[in-house]
């Protein structure tokens, strides 16, 4: 079958900020509206409170969380092999295996819940090696299966009945020989002899199988009804019927249920490949995200891999990209940062503009494609621009950002100044947040040659919230440095009102780097006070990179 995953994932960087999330949402909407592509907004990390406020304000659900885009089982050609029901007879299972030219059948209960599997070897062994006369009762074989297997007709009895007890007797013989043989509840195969039919009922048989389509006298029929005895007529003789009847047992009685190897559509292909190399099974059942059976795969299917397709927004650095990006097909990149270290296997559509926000670029693309912007999409795009430009206070802000924000505010029906203040205050609220959650709200890793460092940023409307964040993260930065595997770490506590950043750092030589980058720096304890510095992209990162280049 075609791979189950045909969507294009639109996603921003790890530890996403408001622009990263809102750009993914708005660009996925635009691409879907302007083309036949099915694009889905995703996120590579948890959303922060500022973003959460924006999404809730405009009634937009958070994008789906996708932390790894490495190939999964859903990205290969899954063979749609219809399952068989647990009650399917052994005879029918054998016929299906033969007709489909497959050596494994998947068995499901209702709503495609996986029950087990049977192979052609299992079925042949059951057919050839079953000499147990009590099998039909042990398997609680349905009367329907008996009738179908014997190509028969149920003359007396309930078609929904089941064999509950008893053993099977073929060619039971004369009434005299039956008396010491047939027990209550047994199944008896008989010919047209009236006295034998009568005797079997008298001895308590639960089912009479009348061979050669012999007629059953009305007296016997009435007696069978009175005694609750089922009667089945079959065109086969007693020898043929005795060979066939055990094949009426449901396949669930023989199926493999223990140590059944299955994969989910979300199983990484590499994991599946390792497991499949260790066992001799040929086909493996696949379960969908709800745990329901959806097909099978074999080792050969692993050759037909369809990597996930990605559109990246608000970044082009490999250190910021979602895990597994290098094993996916990157189709487009929409960004407003410096050219980074990300590489692609082929040419891609790459739109990079020196504006303050990715959503400003996407706004222009809406206009270019003449796609109407719904209120909720306008709202989240506006939120991103206000966030990334610090309500137009950032040096990264351009006239295009302000023009886009003004137009989007009209569509969204909000007062920019009032809405921005509410959004920033919501983002600065730290109640119930752990140091790690606050740190990861907006954190990125950068590289320059052999130098690797991390920079986080939080923007605060009030001094109270900013100082609370500083106190929360002060002892956590050395821990974060180890977790993120960076030798230097910087965190910007940015005051939106004062357009000033209070810079905290960790790592050997971090203080010297800051002094080299910004010259005469005012220090307040462990904080470097940087008036007018509010942009990580345009002010802090270039200054640090220049220090590394000189040394």
pLDDT digits (tens, 9 = 90+) for 18-65: 999 999 999 999 999 998 789 999 999 999 999 999 999 999 999 999
Using alpha carbons, select from 293, 257, 252, 256 the residue that is nearest to residue 145.
252
Residue in the structure block whose two tokens are 């407003």: 336
The partner residues of 527 in beta bridges, in order of sequence, read 524
Residue in the structure block whose two tokens are 């509950």: 164
| pLDDT surpasses 50 at 102 | yes
Q: What is the pLDDT of residues 478-505, one digit of tens each?
A: 999 999 999 999 999 999 889 999 999 9
Note the pLDDT of residue 439.
93
Within-domain flag for 120: yes
* 503 and 439 share one domain: yes
Mean pLDDT over all residues of the chain? 91
φ, ψ (nearest 5 deg) of residue 250:
-65, 145
- Binned at pLDDT 50, 70 and 90, residue 375 comes out as very high
* 343 and 325 share one domain: yes
| pLDDT surpasses 90 at 371 | yes
Note the pLDDT of residue 3.
45
* 257 and 123 share one domain: yes
Q: Please tell me which of 183-197, 301-315, 406-420 the model is most confident about, judged by mean pLDDT.
A: 406-420
The better pLDDT of the pair 350, 427 is held by: 350
- Binned at pLDDT 50, 70 and 90, residue 129 comes out as low
* 521 and 443 share one domain: yes
Query: Domain total for the chain?
Result: 4
* 101 and 238 share one domain: no
CA angle 189, 191, 197 (to 5 degrees): 75
| 102/298 Cα distance (integer angstroms) | 11
Within-domain flag for 398: yes
Q: Global pTM?
A: 0.72
Within-domain flag for 289: yes
What CATH number is associated with residue 515? Answer: 3.10.310.20
Using alpha carbons, select from 106, 94, 32 the residue that is nearest to residue 261.
106
Note the pLDDT of residue 340.
85
| pLDDT surpasses 70 at 234 | yes
Note the pLDDT of residue 130.
64
What CATH number is associated with residue 138? Answer: 3.40.1390.20
| pLDDT surpasses 80 at 4 | no
168-205 burial, b at 16+ Cβ within 10 Å, e below that, comes to bbbebeebeebeeebeeebbbbbeeeeebbbbbbebeb
Within-domain flag for 2: no
Query: Which three-class secondary structure state does DSSP give residue 4?
Result: coil
- Binned at pLDDT 50, 70 and 90, residue 231 comes out as very high
Please compute the mean of the pLDDT values over residues 506-527 and round it to a whole number.
94
Q: What is the pLDDT of residues 272-290, one digit of tens each?
A: 999 988 887 788 899 998 8
* 110 and 257 share one domain: yes
What CATH number is associated with residue 296? Answer: 3.10.580.10
Note the pLDDT of residue 172.
65
* 124 and 258 share one domain: yes
What CATH number is associated with residue 401? Answer: 3.90.1640.10
DSSP 78: -
Within-domain flag for 3: no
Domain boundary (367, 393, 427) is at: 427
Please compute the mean of the pLDDT values over residues 463-468 and round it to a whole number.
91
| pLDDT surpasses 90 at 298 | no
Note the pLDDT of residue 126.
77
* 313 and 230 share one domain: no
Q: What range does the domain containing 338 cover?
A: 8-71+308-427
Domain boundary (387, 408, 427) is at: 427
Within-domain flag for 88: yes
The partner residues of 188 in beta bridges, in order of sequence, read 169, 208
| pLDDT surpasses 80 at 238 | yes
> What Å distances lie between residue 87 and 91, 115, 120, 248, 252, CA to CA?
11, 11, 17, 9, 7
Within-domain flag for 199: yes
Task: Please list, in sequence order, all residues whose beta carbon lies within 8 angstroms of the beta carbon of residue 294, skipping any fewer than 6 positions away.
Answer: 4, 78, 80, 112, 265, 286, 287, 288
Within-domain flag for 1: no
* 28 and 81 share one domain: no
* 477 and 545 share one domain: yes
On whether the CB atoms of residues 80 and 238 are closer than 8 A, the answer is no
On whether the CB atoms of residues 455 and 540 are closer than 8 A, the answer is yes
Note the pLDDT of residue 179.
84
Q: What is the pLDDT of residues 131-186, one digit of tens each?
A: 688 989 999 999 999 999 999 999 999 989 999 999 999 866 678 888 888 999 99
* 114 and 260 share one domain: yes
Domain boundary (229, 248, 267) is at: 248
* 82 and 219 share one domain: no
Lowest mean pLDDT among 8-17, 191-200, 217-226: 191-200
DSSP 14: S
Percent of the chain residues past pLDDT 70, beyond the cut: 98
């Amino acid at each position: 079958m075609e791979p189950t995953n045909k969507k294009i994932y639109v996603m921003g960087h790890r530890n996403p900020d408001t622009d990263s999330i809102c750009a993914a949402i708005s660009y996925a909407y635009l691409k879907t509206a302007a083309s036949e592509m099915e694009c889905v907004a995703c996120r590579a990390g948890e959303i922060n409170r500022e973003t959460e406020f924006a999404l809730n304000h405009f009634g937009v659900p958070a994008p789906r969380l996708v932390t790894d885009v490495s190939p999964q089982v859903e990205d290969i050609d899954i063979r749609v092999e219809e399952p068989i029901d647990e009650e399917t007879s052994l005879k029918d299972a054998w016929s299906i295996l033969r007709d489909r030219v497959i050596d494994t059948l998947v068995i499901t209960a209702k709503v495609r819940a996986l029950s087990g599997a049977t192979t052609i070897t299992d079925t042949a062994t059951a057919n050839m090696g079953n000499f147990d006369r009590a099998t039909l009762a042990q398997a609680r074989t349905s009367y329907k299966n008996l009738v179908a297997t014997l190509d028969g007709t149920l003359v007396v009895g309930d078609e929904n009945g089941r064999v509950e007890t008893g053993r099977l007797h073929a060619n039971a013989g004369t009434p005299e020989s039956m008396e010491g043989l047939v027990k209550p509840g047994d199944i008896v195969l008989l010919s047209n002899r009236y006295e034998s039919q009568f005797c079997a009922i008298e001895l308590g048989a639960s089912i009479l199988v009348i061979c050669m389509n012999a007629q059953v006298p009305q007296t016997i029929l009435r007696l069978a009804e009175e005694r609750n005895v089922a009667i089945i007529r079959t065109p086969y003789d007693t020898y043929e019927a005795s060979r066939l009847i055990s094949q009426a047992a449901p396949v669930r009685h023989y199926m493999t249920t223990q140590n059944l190897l299955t994969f989910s559509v979300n199983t990484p292909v590499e994991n599946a490949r390792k497991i499949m190399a260790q066992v001799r099974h040929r086909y493996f059942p696949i379960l969908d995200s709800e745990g329901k059976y959806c097909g099978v795969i074999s080792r050969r299917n692993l050759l037909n891999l369809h990597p996930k397709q990605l559109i990246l927004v608000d970044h082009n650095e490999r250190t910021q990209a979602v895990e597994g990006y290098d094993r996916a097909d990157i189709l487009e990149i929409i960004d407003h940062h410096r050219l980074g270290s990300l590489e692609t296997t082929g040419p891609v559509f790459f739109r990079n503009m020196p504006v303050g926000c990715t959503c400003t670029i996407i706004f222009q693309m809406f206009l270019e494609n003449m796609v109407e912007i719904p209120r909720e999409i306008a709202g989240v795009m506006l939120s991103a621009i206000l966030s990334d430009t610090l309500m137009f206070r950032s040096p990264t802000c351009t006239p295009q950002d302000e023009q886009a924000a003004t137009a989007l505010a009209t569509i969204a029906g909000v007062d920019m100044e009032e809405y921005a203040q509410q959004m920033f205050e919501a983002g600065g609220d730290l109640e119930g947040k752990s140091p790690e959650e606050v740190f990861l709200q907006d954190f990125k890793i950068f590289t320059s040659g052999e130098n690797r460092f991390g920079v986080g940023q939080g923007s605060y409307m009030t001094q109270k919230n900013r100082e609370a964040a500083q106190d929360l993260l002060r002892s956590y930065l050395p821990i974060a440095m180890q977790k993120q595997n960076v030798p230097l770490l910087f965190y910007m506590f940015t005051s939106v009102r004062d357009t000033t950043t209070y810079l905290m750092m960790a790592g050997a030589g971090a203080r010297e780097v800051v002094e080299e980058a910004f010259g005469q720096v005012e220090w307040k304890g462990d904080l470097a006070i940087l008036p007018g510095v509010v942009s990580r992209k345009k002010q802090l990162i270039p200054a640090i990179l220049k220090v590394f280049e000189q040394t």
